Amino acid sequence: MTTLLWFQRDLRINDNPALSHALELGQPLIAVYIHSPEQDAQWTEGAASRWWLHHSLQQLGTDLLKLGIQLQLFEADPCQIIPQLVQDYRIQNVCWSNRHEPARLQLEHRLQTRLQSEGCQVQRFAQDLLASPDQLLTAAKQTPYRVFTPFYNKLRSQLALHAMKPLTPLKAQIVQPDRPTHSAALSLDQLGLLDRHSWHQKLHQYWTPGEHSAQSQLQDFIDDTLNSYTKQRDYPAIKGSSGLSPHLHFGEISPQQILQALAPLIEFGSSQQASGAEAFLRQLIWREFARYTLWHFPHSSTQPMNPKFSNAFWHEDSIALERWQQGKTGIPIIDAGMRELWQSGSMHNRVRMLVASLLTKNMGIPWQQGARWFWDTLVDADLANNTMGWQWVAGCGVDAAPYFRIFNPVTQATRFDPQQQYIRHWLGNSPASEAMLDLKLTRQQALERYQGLTTHSNGD
């Protein structure tokens, strides 16, 4: 008997329930990763994410070899290649960790149905969540939460931090498969994740993908940053955040591992440690809320949650969009943020809100166009987080920022970058160009659009 383990967004060895289950079966083990851009359609990884994925797979392959397991790579439809592998290797057990994007859930369900109909045992694991989305519903109506705070209160009350048990260490008892590498398997370079142009080489200055880096990043955050997290996380010139977002996205570290590290600090740490850990846990639950929302409202990746915001509410402006993308708006903190994104594959969260507010409210450009640009340029491009964040700022999603909340990037820069350290870091000392729009005028125009939408809706 043979087991097939399908890696997806769980690119780690430790605290990986699917890997642990496969090892516990004690059978020859075939481990695979399947790149499937055609099946992911419009949500296949963007260029920056593919760079991260390439190096994460490289690290995972090295770590698996230390356990005696070879990671085989494929570019194919999982619903085709996995049944083929099952037949060729005479596999009886297949296991994997779920993804949570709507199209992927449907793909996994089809695959599970087919495999089970052919006599395979299938085991799936929800390793990327703190709770099952179908078990967190409003008490009154048993409907999905649409506002974060009651969702947070519900989930937070279920996290019994004082009773957390240590994570079970990996028990590696490998039985080598007696089969050669499959003829359809590719080398990492043949997978073609890296662009032919070398632009992505600059990302090495800012990031080190892989499980080992994720663990180091978490420990450094706890040791150096957590005590001041609540005070410094909004200041883009300060290293005040965890930097764990891309590691979480690719499953190089699990939410449970982070929770395990935070629990003793919340329960027994100093007041500063407990405050910082609790604030960071709230952000972890915000990430959970994004997955929860996409799970319950799968249309939200492309359509506004609030149906009042039809396409007619926004307008197209390709020239203005390009200036925004290139960081040439003439508004210093906006341009600094867009340059940071292009250079590093990331952007400070406070600045993400500012650039999104400017695009959707002052410029009136559809949130989907901003989300698409982020999708291609962020190393942590995540469909759930990206969708909810953009809809929140645009005012058309769950727990949406009220229509009158239009961030003023000038006053925000004065407050959160008072010495202009962040702006100078990304823009240098060159004189600022003239702003491409009048912030006061475009704010008023945005308010009129949003108020008109509200008035029209009430009239209906």
pLDDT per residue rounded down to tens, the chain (460 residues) = 899 999 999 999 999 999 999 999 988 999 999 999 998 888 899 999 999 999 999 999 999 999 989 999 999 999 999 999 999 999 999 999 999 899 999 999 999 999 999 999 999 998 889 999 999 999 888 999 999 999 999 999 999 887 777 777 777 655 555 568 999 999 999 999 998 877 778 999 999 999 999 999 999 999 999 999 999 999 999 999 999 999 999 999 999 999 999 999 999 999 999 999 999 999 999 999 999 999 999 999 999 998 888 777 889 999 999 999 999 999 999 999 999 999 999 999 999 999 999 999 999 999 999 999 999 999 999 999 999 999 999 999 887 666 678 999 999 999 999 999 999 999 998 777 899 999 999 999 999 988 877 644 433 2
Please give the pLDDT value at position 458: 34
Identity of the residue numbered 153: N
The residue whose two tokens read 């010139």 is 237
Please give the pLDDT value at position 168: 73
Identity of the residue numbered 395: G
Please give the pLDDT value at position 128: 86
Please give the pLDDT value at position 308: 84
The residue whose two tokens read 């449970």 is 256
The residue whose two tokens read 């007041």 is 271
The residue whose two tokens read 């949406």 is 400
Torsion angle in degrees (nearest 10) through CA of 250, 216, 16, 293: -40
Distance CA 459, CA 62 (A): 63
Q: Which residues sit opposite 186 in a β-bridge? A: 73
Please give the pLDDT value at position 59: 98
Please give the pLDDT value at position 457: 41
Distance CA 258, CA 242 (A): 11
Burial bucket for residue 364 (CB in 10 Å: 0-12, 13-18, 19+): middle
Distance CA 247, CA 60 (A): 13
Please give the pLDDT value at position 173: 59
Please give the pLDDT value at position 162: 76
Identity of the residue numbered 449: R
Distance CA 69, CA 90 (A): 18
The residue whose two tokens read 């032919």 is 196
Distance CA 330, CA 437 (A): 9
| HEC per residue, the chain | CCEEEEECCCCCCCCCHHHHHHHHCCCCEEEEEEECHHHHHHHCCCHHHHHHHHHHHHHHHHHHHHCCCCEEEEECCHHHHHHHHHHHHCCCEEEEECCCCHHHHHHHHHHHHHHHHCCCEEEEECCCCCCCHHHCCCCCCCCCCCCHHHHHHHHHHHCCHHHCCCCCCCCCCCCCCCCCCCCCCECCHHHCCCCCCHHHHHHHHCCCCCHHHHHHHHHHHHHHHHHHHHHHCCCCCCCCCCCCHHHHHCCCCCHHHHHHHHHHHHHHCCHHHHHHHHHHHHHHHHHHHHHHHHHHCHHHHCCCCCCCCCHHHCCCCHHHHHHHHCCCCCCHHHHHHHHHHHHHCCCCHHHHHHHHHHHHHHCCCCHHHHHHHHHHHCCCCCHHHHHHHHHHHHCCCCCCCCCCCCCCHHHHHHHHCCCCHHHHHHHCCCCCCCCCCCHHHHHHHHHHHHHHHHHHHHHC
- Cα torsion angle, 130, 294, 298, 81, sign: negative
